[in-house]
Structure formats: structure tokens, C-alpha cells
Amino acid sequence: MPRLKTRFNALSHLFLPLSVLVILILINLIKGADYFKITVVNGAFYGNIPNILFGASELVILSIGMTFVTAASRGQDISIGESGAISSAIFVQYVLRAGNVTLGTILVGFLISCLAGIIIGAFNGTLVSFFNVQPMVATLILFLGGRSIAFIIDGKVSPILANEISNRIGTVIPGIPIQTPIILTAVFIALVAVVLRTTNLRLYVEAVGINPSAARLNGINPKKIIFLTFLLMGVCAAVAGFIAVNKAGRHDSVNLLKFIMMDAILAVALGGNSLGGGKFSITGSIIGAYTIEMLNRTLLRLEVNPEAIKVFKAVFIIVLMVLASPVVRDFAAQALEKVKSIAAGRAPGHRGALSMTDAPGKKGE
């Protein structure tokens, strides 16, 4: 029984994003039963589900980075779209100047863009960890100026990536039935999972997020950990920029990853993470990111007026957050207990109290 309970505990934070996912799937199935239909075009899978996985790849990667930043620094990075735009601009410039494009050039270009992402992360991280600036304010600087930097790197045009390898990275590699961005995202998620399994990163980040002074007294340097999370965020932004620019086939410094930070923060919150730092769940954020993409596509599928999409999205978020709020959860738990005690008839009172501790509502984060 105790083991079962702890497993339930571990899953309870995923209750919200998973139930939303299920509701969205149900809505889609009501709209049309062919929702899960997968067609094979040119040897690759296409359909609603692959499209969601494909479309959400950048968002998933960014929301992973955002989860780390949120957990450690108790704030959000709002410059992720801009850092993705800058690092991918550098990538595009490198590839275009290399002349003959081979897999090696792409790889080197990718590594250089990752380095650029790390530098951007270091810039933000220095401000947040060493100058004690609130993350939102610190990243506001790049949010305001970042796109102009990308624009200047581009040389005031939007360069086109017209080579075979980029095209394949953005779409499909012949012979592999899954679209490449999906594979890249999966590899990235696996890497993060390995890092979290093999290192103490999770422990340190959570310790710093819960109480920086207590973490310091226990020998963890909170400044270093916060700085590290921003470096990670920079890498995530670079990878997301790499995928986005290969998908689009050209580097549009104005619109690339525009306003994606809102969706990334939303994904973190949907995943059951507190935006106030502390314990975090990467799985939740990933599911949250896919949920947002699915919501966007569901609204399109339901033929909602494109002007009104944002209204529906807003209403959806509000309803969701109300249902997930601690007050409503406690209320639901109490109601559940009452129903149970009525159902049990004249059962002894302590059974009701027991069932209350098992109710999902009490296991808020």
C-alpha cells in the first residue's frame, strides 16, 4: 500500500496535463472518427498525431529549458525566441558561407549555434545569478533587442537555406518513416533524461528553487546552479532555433519563434509545475507542450474563426487553471469525501478521513 501510494504521488502532478490531453482527443474524435488515421506519403507517416509531434518539436525543447530556469531561478526567461533567432542566424550564416554543404558543415554550424546559445544564456545568467536581477527583467533586455541583432547578422535579408541536408533535417530523411524534427526532439528528450538520471542536477536545482539560502548552507552554490540553468536554456534555444530554421527553410529574423515564450511558460504551468520554483517535472512540461500544440490544431480542426482562436485559447487556459487551482482542488476533495461518506452509509467516520488523504486534490504541488 505505501508503495502504491508513492507511485500515485509521482503521477498526481501529471493528472492535469494528461486529463486535458484526453479531453482534447475526445473532442477531436467527436469531430471526426478518423483522428488517429495515419497515412504514408513518400515513405513517411503523416496524419494528425505525427503533425502534432512535428509541430510541437521546438516548443517541447524550449519548455524543457524553461522548466529548469523556472525551477531554479523562480522566474521565467522571456528572451528564448530571440536567442533562438540569434543562434539560428549564426548557423545559417555559417552554412551559407561554407559553400559546399556537407553533413560536417551542418554539424559544425550547429555546434557554433549552440555556443552562441550558451553565450546568450551566460549573458542572461550573469544578470540573474550574479547581479540578482529578476529573470523576467534580465531577459527583457534581449527580448527588446534580440531580433535586431538577428536581423543584423542576417544582413537585412532573410537568407534561404536551399540545400539537401537542411531540407532533410526539416522534413524527412529518405528511408526513415518518421519526420526528422520528431526524431531530433526524441533524442533531445532522451539526452535530458540521461543527464537527470546520472547526475545530481535535479536535486541541486530543486534545492535552490525551494530555498536558496538553505541550499547554500548545504554546500550548493545557488548562483552557480542558476547560472547553469540559464546555460542549459541557451542550448535548448539554440537547438530549437536549429530545428525551426531547418523546418522553415529560410531565416526570418522577425517571425522565427515569435512569442513562443508565452507558450513555453504555459507548457511549464500546464505540466503541473509551480512558476514560483522548486520541484519540477520535465515529463509534465513535455506533455504540456504537446497539449498546447494539440489545442491549437484542434481549434483549427473545429474551424474556429482564425480571429477568435486566441479567445478560445484564453477561455481554455482559464477553465483549466481554475480546475487545477488549489482552492477548487481542496473543495473537490471535500466534496468527494462527503459523497463517499454518504455512499458508505453509517460507516465509521475514520474511513472518510482516510479516503480524504488518498484524494488526488490533496496532493497539490
Cβ neighbour number for residue 327 with a 10 Å cutoff: 9
Q: What DSSP letter does each residue of 46-87 carry, written as one string? A: EEHHHHHHHHTHHHHHHHHHHHHHHHHHSS----HHHHHHHH
- Is 40 a residue that touches another protein (CB under 8 A)? no
Distance, in Å, from the CA atom of 141 to the CA atom of 154, rounded to the nearest integer, reads: 20
- Is 122 a residue that touches another protein (CB under 8 A)? no
Sign of the CA dihedral with 233 first, then 238, 239, and 241 last: positive
- Is 302 a residue that touches another protein (CB under 8 A)? no
Report how far apart the first and last C-alpha atoms of the chain are (Å, whole number).
22
DSSP letter at 233 equals H
Return the C-alpha cell found at 46: 503523416
Interface residue with another protein, options 131, 174, 217, 219 (CB under 8 A):
131
Helix H or strand E encompassing 347: none
CB of 138 to another protein, least distance (A): 7
Task: Name which of residues 68 to 87 contact another protein (CB under 8 A).
Answer: 75-76
- The nearer residue to another protein, 300 or 314, going by C-beta atoms, is 314
Interface residue with another protein, options 49, 133, 186, 332 (CB under 8 A):
133
- Is 132 a residue that touches another protein (CB under 8 A)? yes
- φ/ψ region of 348 (left if φ > 0, alpha if ψ in -120 to 50, else beta) reads beta
- Is 137 a residue that touches another protein (CB under 8 A)? yes
- Is 269 a residue that touches another protein (CB under 8 A)? yes
**Binding segment for another protein among 3-11, 34-42, 130-138, 210-218 (CB under 8 A)?**
130-138
Task: Name which of residues 326 to 345 contact another protein (CB under 8 A).
Answer: 326-328
Distance, in Å, from the CA atom of 247 to the CA atom of 58, rounded to the nearest integer, reads: 10
CA distances from 259 to 91, 215, 219, 264 (A): 21, 34, 38, 9
Per-residue b or e along 154-165, where b marks 16 or more CB atoms closer than 10 Å to that residue's CB: beeebbebebeb
- The nearer residue to another protein, 137 or 354, going by C-beta atoms, is 137
- Is 214 a residue that touches another protein (CB under 8 A)? no
CB of 351 to another protein, least distance (A): 30
- Is 29 a residue that touches another protein (CB under 8 A)? no
**Which residues lie across from 213 on neighbouring strands?**
none
CB of 3 to another protein, least distance (A): 32
- Is 19 a residue that touches another protein (CB under 8 A)? no
- The nearer residue to another protein, 110 or 280, going by C-beta atoms, is 280
Instruction: Say if CB 286 and CB 64 are below 8 A apart.
Output: yes
Interface residue with another protein, options 256, 266, 295, 333 (CB under 8 A):
266
- Is 307 a residue that touches another protein (CB under 8 A)? yes
The number of angstroms, rounded, from the C-alpha of 69 to the middle of its chain's C-alpha atoms is 11
**Binding segment for another protein among 46-54, 208-216, 311-319, 345-353 (CB under 8 A)?**
311-319
Contact residues toward another protein (CB under 8 A) are: 75-76, 127, 131-134, 136-138, 140-149, 151-152, 156, 262, 265-266, 269, 274-276, 305, 307-315, 317-318, 321-322, 325-328
